[in-house]
Structure 1
Amino acid sequence: MRRLAQAQGVFNVVSGVWPLVSMRTFEAVYGPKNDRWLVHTVAGLLTTVGCAQLLSRNPVQLRVARVVGIGTAATLLTIDAVYVPKRRISRMYLQDAVCELGWLAGWAWVSRPRRAGRA
């Protein structure tokens, strides 16, 4: 669980920092943005979530990292799935949707019930 929290944490920090460091390259990939303040808001939130996941160590923190990770991935996946077909956001966000599905699958995998005697 810790490795998954840290992996998603890195992904979220990188995703969040990118538009803060270079809006030009972010827009080159994901298309021009009318509301840059909104991009910056989401970027700050993703960076914060990612940092919290990276700092998770003990079982209680890891459970919180799991809830935050699942919630973040589900939210971003939903936005991608709703707004790409409506052409409100670029089709490039479909690659993000695939990543978010991957995080959800990862959390489902590490959260599955374990049978006795299994390492």
Structure 2
Amino acid sequence: MKLLKYLLIVQAAYIFLTALWPIVDIRSFMAVTGYKTDIWLVKTVGALLIPVALTLVMYLYIRTDRRPAFLLGSGTAAAFICIDFYYALTDVISDIYLADGFPEIVFLVCWLYIAIAHPHALKRI
């Protein structure tokens, strides 16, 4: 299914680039997202998200059950939706994180659409 392929590529690329950004250039990251006191934590989250992105990409190349990809992709999107909206709307983090929440909603909706309308695409191939 083409939507699954595109979703894996786009979500993995989005996660990878946003995860790598604070590791490579924390100053520009903080210029956009606001000052951070625990830079080590920001870089740790980025480092932990890189394997998430690489795992999603892996599902493009191996013939296996893709239900774990569904769980990883939809779960990551749902987690970021909750974090981005709750903490931005309660003024704990910068409102720029609301901008991240919207692509995460798109990712989650796509995963749910695939799971509901094309569940066979997630099973062992």
Inter-partner Cα distance in structure 2 for 1:39 and 1:28 = 14
TM-score calculated relative to the size of structure 1 = 0.88
**What SS does the corresponding residue of 1:9 show, helix, strand or coil?**
helix
User: Kindly tell me: are residues 108 and 102 of structure 1, through their superposed partners in 2, closer, same or farther at Cα, counting changes over 3 Å?
Assistant: same
Deviations, residues 30-51 of structure 1 (Å, cap 9, x unaligned): 0111111111111012111001
Alignment of 1:24-43 (within 5 A): 24-43=27-46
TM-score calculated relative to the size of structure 2 = 0.84
Q: Which one of the candidate residues 109, 115, 125 is aligned to 1:111? A: 115
Deviations, residues 13-38 of structure 1 (Å, cap 9, x unaligned): 11110110100111111011111111
- Which position in structure 2 is the counterpart of 1:73? 77
Unaligned 5+ residue runs, structure 2?
119-125
- Which position in structure 1 is the counterpart of 2:50? 47
Percent identity of equivalent pairs: 34
Unaligned 5+ residue runs, structure 1?
115-119
- Which position in structure 1 is the counterpart of 2:24? 21
- Which position in structure 1 is the counterpart of 2:122? none
CA RMSD of aligned residues (A): 1.3
Matched pairs, number:
113
